[in-house]
Amino acid sequence: MKKTLLAAALALTAIPAFASDDAMSAAPADLAAGTMLGTDTAAITEALTALGYDVRKVGSDDGMLEAYVVKDRYMAEVYINPKTGEIVRVGGDD
């Protein structure tokens, strides 16, 4: 009986945790592909800060500019085309 109650309690607590993790892994609309941020570190930092993100680092990797950002509990790597200044993709907090 105790094992059954424990298993049921664990199952019920796990469901909301998975739901919130899925919700947190989706990129916010303000980081959609095509959003213009800029082509240099200062412009990217300014644009992301204006959107409410804490910019932890901006650098380059494999020909892309890459910004590490945090907003509330969401953390992401934002990949930016260095020629156009547009977001190419966003890697969420996995």
9 Cβ contact list (under 8 Å, min separation 6): none
> Which residues lie below 8 Å from residue 52, measured CB to CB, with a gap of 6+?
71
- Mean pLDDT, the chain, integer: 81
pLDDT band, very low/low/confident/very high, at 93 (cuts 50, 70, 90): low
Q: Residues 37-76: pLDDT tens digits?
A: 999 999 999 999 999 999 999 999 889 999 999 999 899 9
Quick one: pLDDT band at residue 21, thresholds 50, 70, 90? very low
Alpha-helical (H) ranges within 26-77 are: 41-50
Structural domain containing residue 35: 2-92
Q: How many whole angstroms separate alpha carbon 75 and alpha carbon 56? A: 10
Instruction: Flag whether pLDDT at 86 surpasses 90.
Output: yes
Per-residue pLDDT at 29 exceeds 70: yes
How many Å apart are CA 47 and CA 77, to the nearest integer?
15
Number of domains present in the structure of the chain: 1
CA–CA dist 12, 6 (Å, integer): 10
The share of the chain scoring above pLDDT 90, in percent, equals 62
